[in-house]
Structure 1
Amino acid sequence: MSEHINNREYRKEIIKQIIKELHDGKSVDEVKSRFEEAFKGVSAVEITEAEQALIKEGLPITEVQRLCDVHSAVFKGSIEEIHRESDPTKIPGHPANVLFLENREIEKIIENKIKPYIDNLSDKESVEKLKDGFEQLLKIDIHYSKKENLLFPYMEKYGITAPPKVMWGVDDEIRADLKSIYSDLSSGHLNDEIKKRIEEALTRVNEMIFKEENIMIPMLLDVMSQDEWKTAADNSSEIGHMLRWVPEWKPDEEAKEEIKEEMSEPGTITLPSGIFKVNELTHMLNTLPFDITFVGSDDTVKYFSESSERIFPRPRTIIGRNISNCHPPASVHIVEEIVDDFKSGKKEHEDFWIKMKDKYIHIRYYAVRDEKGKYLGVLEVSQDIKPIQEITGEKRLVTE
């Protein structure tokens, strides 16, 4: 067998076989024993390739997801340590560092706020403390949301598609388990099974910590550029942090990469949160379920959308026209007052609603300002809200 041990494909096939055996009902101990006999170490990349190969061969993602906790336990302790000259997980503010620190916070909550009270569910005070511990642990949603929305997109970008799908599914199961347990603790439904449910949920949380730190992060460190890590760091505040304070991470100037070629292609509009081709942006704006018009700081019309269901007719000849000349004399003073209030900072928005035949039109004006508060213009948004007002009940299924 030794001649096969260093053969990457052979090792991958063995990993696939082990996962399938777990799927077929073999115990963790049986599989782990065989695994330890065949390998001295295995890389995170090989584990991921095995998962992706299984999914490509037709094994449903939900099945791999169901095995996630089990094969995590099998692989634990055998994933080779990845050494780096400068370990990003130890650089303050780096997304990998923040993830590691949040995991340490999660472990503290489990060890100090939950585990000491699991065996005292008959004691009212212990149940209250346990409930408080789970309330803190529910903040794990922030941690998972950052992983799913800031890091998974880069895994997918570089062709690592199976791990994020599997991991996200398990994240959702953990969220649901924690919420259910907290709800039962809050309502006093302390049945005989709740201790077991708590222990199983905590095990799953710890297994996810292991997979994040030993599989996900090493893979991301192999493929993500410095600029991509910086983008993830800059957008973390949009979702939040489990930690009280997170320092700003500033990469070395020498490590920063040039703007991607795609951003400088002709006909490309580069915005802070995305990139559009002119054709894409035009039709995206025209697809919005409401009309928008933008008037610049010089009081002239700069843009309006052209959806198929326009509320107010606007010919393209109004581009460059002064906003005062676009309204009837009887109402122009209202428009001018709104603009003056926006410019002075007295107001940030103004709303109106009017009935037009079978429509109920909601018209909203917003002051547009830059990050320093400088006035840039006015955005007008008009929408027929009658169909929205008529909505009742709930709709959770896709229309056939």
Structure 2
Amino acid sequence: MSELINNREHRQELLKEVIRELHRGRTVDEVKQKFKDVIDGITHTELSQIEQELMNEGLDVKEIQRLCDVHAAVFRESLEQVKKPETIPGHPVHTFKEENRAIEKHINENLRPALEDFKRNGTAESASELLKHINLLMDIDKHYARKENLLFPYLEKYGITGPPSVMWGVDDEIRELLKSIIKDLKEYNVNRKSDVIEEVNKAINKIIEMIFKEENILLPMALDTLTEDEWVNIMEESDEIGYCIVSPQIKWKPKRENVKGAEEQKLADETSNGYIKFDTGILKVGEISAIFDNLPFDITFVDKDDVVRYFSNSNDRIFARTKAVIGRKVQYCHPPASVHVVEELLRDFKSGKKSHEDFLIKMGDKYVYIRYFAVRDENGDYLGTLEVTQDIAPIKALEGEKRLMS
């Protein structure tokens, strides 16, 4: 994403310099010409924040007031062109809201009529029709997964942890409700008809409430907090998880240019092409990445401060990972209901009580073996935790010997 302004602080400094130059006597046309790239795409909120920061740094409020019309003149063209993100196809907020409209439409046009038919008849056929619509509604898991694994990590970086944690807990309640309904309808027993009706109504109410909370609390808060480049990152990572009922038809392409210049990127590229020396050999960064991504299992590393620092990126990962988890506390990467297990495991590793822990989970035709290892240095000091995840079903099925190449 070299075409984007990918450094929040750098952009803010340039925007402040725009206003400083106006206060030094430069004309509107001079400043607009010099700072054209950084001015493009500025929002009203961003302009207000920049003015506030300059006042915090000592610029007299009266001086700001004196030239506020001049500030507006510099940014007016850009401000007038800025569309609200929720109206821009491909922007993550637009996608979240489009999914919500599709969910509401499915509930009102398909699910509620099927539920009414089930109430009247309670036959196996009406149960099967209801199950079909509940199965489609289960697609909401992707909507929630993008919210939890892409949007929440950025909010957490700004210290906003309360609402995400509460919402994730409710998301899980909805998931469990839908799974329970699906199970009851697959094994339909007429004696549980009233229970199924109650569960479906409860799920619908919770989903509608969650839509309200997303669009009136979560998304406005995120729009006020996240930078444009962070929204771009969310968009780029969204395909990895998938979409609910509908998906964006186009990619959102912001207009911002990389005002930091090509030289800095060139320097970074040259550095990344160097070798890294190990005790048992040397490898290039690209070679290390390729090796990890071709391992027959997935790995994730969490450092000594419980921060996710790395995950391998194989083509057939068992559990979805997005780059948004990098730099995120591992506790926030798990549903609230299981955080206590994570914390207990990390305490045991840090104290030296344990050095590894294993889990086994059946997932359809997969038999998932999840192993956690405490990573320690030569002095035995704890450096972090390594998670290794592998589908061992093919291994369990092995018999005999194989001594010849296929």
Same fold by TM (over 0.5)? no
Query: Which structure shows the bigger proportion of residues in helix conformation?
Result: 2
TM-score, with structure 2 as normaliser: 0.44
Taking structure 1 as the reference length, the TM-score comes to 0.45
Greater Rg over alpha carbons, structure: 1
